[in-house]
Amino acid sequence: MKVVVTGGLGFIGSHTVVELQNQGFEVIAIDNLSNAEESVLDGIEKITGKKPIFENIDLREKVAVQHFFKKYNDIVGVIHFAASKAVGESVENPLLYYENNINALVYVLQELTALPQANFIFSSSCTVYGQAEKMPITEDASVQPALSPYGNTKQIGEEIITDTAKVTNLNSILLRYFNPIGAHPTAEIGELPIGVPQNLVPFITQTAMGLREKLSVFGDDYATPDGTCIRDYIHVVDLAKAHVIALQRLLSKQNEQKVETFNLGTGTGSSVLEVIHAFEKVSGQKLNYQIVARREGDITSAYANTDKANKVLGWKSQLTLEEALAAAWKWEQKIRS
Ligand code: WQD
């Protein structure tokens, strides 16, 4: 069965291509290489023995999207990762985010819903909850006004899918990720941040590698046990597996609604200092960090209630924070060797 993975050479996309191929799916990876390298295909082949079909397409080009779906009109589903995802950049350049994250989604859905079956897995984010009132966060927690254009594109994306499913053959599962981290244990694929990493874990591994002088910890005066922010750090391989399970749910028509939503996290919150100490433990080296002022827009705490994903989706994270940090460190050392 042929499955399309947009953003298929990206961080989460490439790990999902591996898990799909491990389950016997034939994968067509779409990527415009704006935030990925074509060499990721070799890493996927080293892990699974197979390269996915690769189409270098920019999904903002409506005609290119139309041609793609005419060429591959026998696909059984789409897993949609292709989007810009840097919160800070989205504040500086909102139109880039609205064009890339919204137009592309619309063009893909227009073509997909013209096919006999339209199964669609959407890469959403816990960012839609803003600072939720209650921890752990359940799927029925209120969606707060977005704190960034990036977060807004995820909320709008969910609404576009919901409205479309009401009047077309679209069946969809929205996956709200918490904080994806780590790399494949083989160190054949992983995260390739461009420029200075915005996210915590790649900044930690680059600091440990000597590429960055020190890690700045953005504030230790939050209302948390050690004063630093709490997040739910989920291993990217666990996250990838959840996408395959979600797709199989739609393919076997087990979904109870046309659009279902699941939080994907470990269910455990970790503070920034806890992540740093866990990294020092797995890497066997001290990390150079300094407490500095808070980062604008950061929320105090976010971690998932994973009951629905466990019970309904039949998925639970298996890998630990330490395993994710060890994989991220092994990957960092591999790409700098
Ligand atoms: C985690 C914690 C920082 C860097 C964002 C998006 C989310 C998803 C993941 C795309 C925070 C602290 C970080 C650093 C630090 N993005 N930190 N020093 O902000 O929770 O989530 O990225 O899908 O949608 O909202 O992740 O890794 O940036 O930060 O102290 O150099 O680490 O303050 O508390 P975040 P993050």
Q: What is the pLDDT of residue 194?
A: 86
In the CATH scheme, what is the code of domain 2-181+233-265+306-317?
3.40.50.720
Q: Is the CB of 216 under 6 A from ligand 1?
A: yes
Neighbour-count burial for 241-274, b at 16+ CB within 10 Å, e otherwise: bbbbbbbbbbbeeebeebbbbbbbbbbbbbbbbb
Q: Is the CB of 220 under 6 A from ligand 1?
A: no
Catalytic residue flag (residue 177): no
**Top mutation candidate among 216, 272, 273, 277 for ligand 1, by most atoms within 8 Å of CB:** 272
Strands (E), the chain: 2-6, 26-30, 53-55, 77-80, 118-125, 170-177, 179-181, 215-218, 230-231, 233-235, 259-264, 270-271, 289-292
Two structure tokens written together for 234:
């989920």
Residue whose CA is at the smallest distance from ligand 1 atom 7: 127
Residue whose CA is at the smallest distance from ligand 1 atom 34: 229
Q: Is the CB of 306 under 6 A from ligand 1?
A: no
The SS3 call for residue 205 is helix
Q: Is the CB of 93 under 6 A from ligand 1?
A: no
Please report which residue ranges of 3-122 form alpha helices under DSSP H. Answer: 11-22, 40-48, 62-71, 87-92, 94-98, 104-112
Per-residue pLDDT in tens (0 to 9) along the chain, 337 residues: 999 999 999 999 999 999 999 999 999 999 999 999 999 999 999 999 999 999 999 999 999 999 999 999 999 999 999 999 999 899 999 999 999 999 999 999 999 999 999 999 999 999 999 999 999 999 999 999 998 999 999 999 999 999 999 999 999 999 999 999 999 999 999 999 889 999 999 999 999 999 999 999 999 999 999 999 999 999 999 999 999 999 999 999 999 999 999 999 999 999 999 999 999 999 999 999 999 999 998 999 999 999 999 999 999 999 999 999 999 999 999 999 8
What atom of ligand 1 comes closest to residue 272's alpha carbon? Answer: 32
pTM higher than 0.95, yes or no? yes
Residue whose CA is at the smallest distance from ligand 1 atom 13: 200
Which one of the listed residues 97, 107, 150, 303 is annotated catalytic? 150
Q: Is the CB of 294 under 6 A from ligand 1?
A: no
Residue whose CA is at the smallest distance from ligand 1 atom 28: 199
Q: What is the pLDDT of residue 82?
A: 98
Domain coordinates in residue numbering, the chain: 2-181+233-265+306-317
